[in-house]
Amino acid sequence: MNQNQDKIINLNINRKDFEEVYFAGNQGSLFFSSSTKGKTVTTIVIGLILVILFIFKDDLSKEKFGILYFVSFLFLLCAVYLSLAINKVSKWRKEVIAYLKTLENPEIYQIKFNNKVFKVNLNNKKEASLWTEFTSAEIGEKFIALEGKFNYMFPRKSMSDSDYQFLKEAVQKNVK
C-alpha cells in the first residue's frame, strides 16, 4: 500500500460479536471479573473466619478478644476494597453497554487507513488519528484493539479474513 492509498474496511456489525470479546472470561461479572475475583474470595474467607470467631467468642479469653476486633477490621477493609473494585467494573460495564447500543442498526461502520492516518466512521461520526497517536495495540485471535487518542476494538468476525489480516499487518507495522 503506498502512502496515499487508503484501505477501506466495511465492518459487518453483530452486537454479539462485540459482547463475546468485551465480556469474555467473566469480564462483565461484578464479583468474578479478573479485577474483582481475588477481592471477592478474600472477603468471603475473612467473613467466614469472622463468623467462626463470633460463634466461639464466648470461648475466647479477654486477652485474645482483640483478635475478633482485628478480624472485624480486616473484613471491613476487604469489603471496602471489594466495593471499590465492583464500582469500577460496574462503570466499565455501563460504558460498554452504552457503546454497544450505538452499534445497533448502524448506517455505516467503516475503517479507512493508510500509512499515516487511521480513520473510523460510525454513523457518519468520523474520528481520525495519526498512527503515532496510538500508544498500544493488542492483536488476538478474536479481535484487534487500539489504544490512544481514541480507543477501538474490532472483532475478527466483523470483517473478512483477508481484511482482518490486512488490518493486523497495518497495526503491527504502524503501532510501536
Q: What is the pLDDT of residues 94-150, one digit of tens each?
A: 999 998 888 888 888 999 999 999 999 988 889 999 999 999 999 999 999 999 988
What is the pTM (predicted TM-score) of this model? 0.73
pLDDT greater than 90 at residue 83: yes
Residue type present at position 37: K
Instruction: Report the mean per-residue pLDDT for the chain.
Output: 90
Q: Whole-angstrom Cα distance, residue 74 to residue 77?
A: 5
Q: How many residues does the chain have?
A: 176
Closest Cα partner for 23 from 143, 150, 122?
Answer: 143
Element (H, E) at 22: helix 15-22
Alpha helices in 27-156 (DSSP H): 37-55, 66-102
Q: What is the pLDDT of residues 15-35, one digit of tens each?
A: 888 888 888 888 888 999 888
